[in-house]
Amino acid sequence: MKVTRKILPLFLFILYAVPAGMNAQEVPGPDENIPFLITFGKEGGVTSWGDDDFSQTFFFALPKDYKDPFYIRVYDPDTGGKTDELNNFWNTRMMYSIYGGKGCYTHEEANGISPTGNYKSGTLLATRTFGMDNKLDERWYTFGPFNPADGEYYPKFLSNIFKIVCDGISGDDGNLYRYAISRRPDANVPIDGANAFTYEYTFRMWNNNDTSFVSHIYPFIDSGCVYIQMRNFDWDDDGDFIVVSVERKGQVMPLSGDDVWETSRMPILEGEIGKSLDFRFYKKKGDLVRNNNVVISVQNQYGENLPFFSAPIGGVPVYKPRIKVVPKK
């Protein structure tokens, strides 16, 4: 799917507006309350586990003024052990590839919505494939150090962009993992002003049947957006999906069933322009659905993909009711 850069002109300002010290570089981010990213091995091409393409792409944006080496870390990168999702026996291998340089972000096929073509564009800076490795089970693996200058400088963001692609190159187990970028190789030390984003989010829902466990993702709505079209996959009708914004208190949107896509459209309100939406996913309270893995992406009226930021641009949107009082005759 084509990535259109023109939809993101506000980022260059807003990226730097992320509060310093915010743990924005962990993916999923703390505001998202998502337990894990997930990628399945592509063997058999079975998508009903909740992964439509066996690949996930994330981008890291580092402020241009950040010059120090940094690291990209992966939590539980292997497939096997306590965290991951087993299908029959552990036979899955995951390949992590980190790209920088020209085209790693701006290439039209680089967004990872559909891992076809040159979605691994740019300069390969590091790659490693993991099978089952007990030493890395529930531990962080660190790539780097990387030189921020090795990313693709994207002027509109005033950032150097790096890309990490996780491909399930073999097997059919589910790999549950997280990312972080850090100043240090042995701990997650945030980089002020950095952020992470993706155009298609594949993640694991909480297993808990307590509906207080609500997950969020935060698409950014740029100027000119009239409506958005949401696509979600394999939600197994597991709960409720509502959209919250500064002007929208919980519009209910449809969720997909098992191994199917659900597409819905929602008009954008004027006050939502230039801010993030809050997609909230509530687990169903009655029926417990375990190990539910889901996929979601959003487009605007032109078919341009909208990014989900781990740290929502402009902060978590808070709906503000506005009371109007009209005397009655």
Q: Is 252 in the site for other proteins (CB under 8 A)?
A: yes
Q: How far apart are CA 258 and CA 267, in angstroms?
A: 26
Q: Nearest approach, Cβ of 293 to other proteins (angstroms)?
A: 21
Q: How far apart are CA 263 and CA 11, in angstroms?
A: 27
Q: Let me know: does 238 contact 264? Beta carbons within 8 Å.
A: no
Q: Around 47, how many Cα atoms within 13 Å sit in the side-chain half-sphere?
A: 14
**Amino acid sitting at position 143:** F
Which CB sits closer to other proteins, 187 or 269? 269
Q: Is 316 in the site for other proteins (CB under 8 A)?
A: no
Q: Nearest approach, Cβ of 20 to other proteins (angstroms)?
A: 29
Q: Nearest approach, Cβ of 270 to other proteins (angstroms)?
A: 9
Q: Is 324 in the site for other proteins (CB under 8 A)?
A: yes
Which CB sits closer to other proteins, 161 or 217? 217
Of the listed pieces 10-18, 36-44, 198-206, 250-258, which binds other proteins according to CB under 8 A?
250-258
Of the listed pieces 86-94, 124-132, 239-247, 297-305, which binds other proteins according to CB under 8 A?
239-247
Query: Three-state DSSP class for 222?
Result: coil
Q: Let me know: does 241 contact 252? Beta carbons within 8 Å.
A: yes
Site residues (CB under 8 A) for other proteins, limited to 258-277: 269, 271
Q: Is 33 in the site for other proteins (CB under 8 A)?
A: no
Site residues (CB under 8 A) for other proteins, limited to 206-235: 211-212, 214
CB neighbours of 153 closer than 8 A, spacing ≥ 6?
A: 64, 159, 160, 161
Q: Which two tokens stand for residue 312?
A: 């929502």
Q: Is 286 in the site for other proteins (CB under 8 A)?
A: no
Longest dimension (CA), the chain: 75
Which CB sits closer to other proteins, 285 or 290? 285
Q: Let me know: does 8 contact 222? Beta carbons within 8 Å.
A: yes
Q: How far apart are CA 59 and CA 152, in angstroms?
A: 11
Q: Is 240 in the site for other proteins (CB under 8 A)?
A: yes
Q: Nearest approach, Cβ of 207 to other proteins (angstroms)?
A: 17
- Give CA separation, 47 vs 18, 38, 40, 57, 173, in Å: 35, 12, 9, 17, 11
Q: Nearest approach, Cβ of 203 to other proteins (angstroms)?
A: 20
Q: Nearest approach, Cβ of 251 to other proteins (angstroms)?
A: 6
Q: Nearest approach, Cβ of 14 to other proteins (angstroms)?
A: 23
Contact residues for other proteins (CB under 8 A)?
A: 211-212, 214, 239-240, 242, 247-253, 269, 271, 282, 285, 319-329
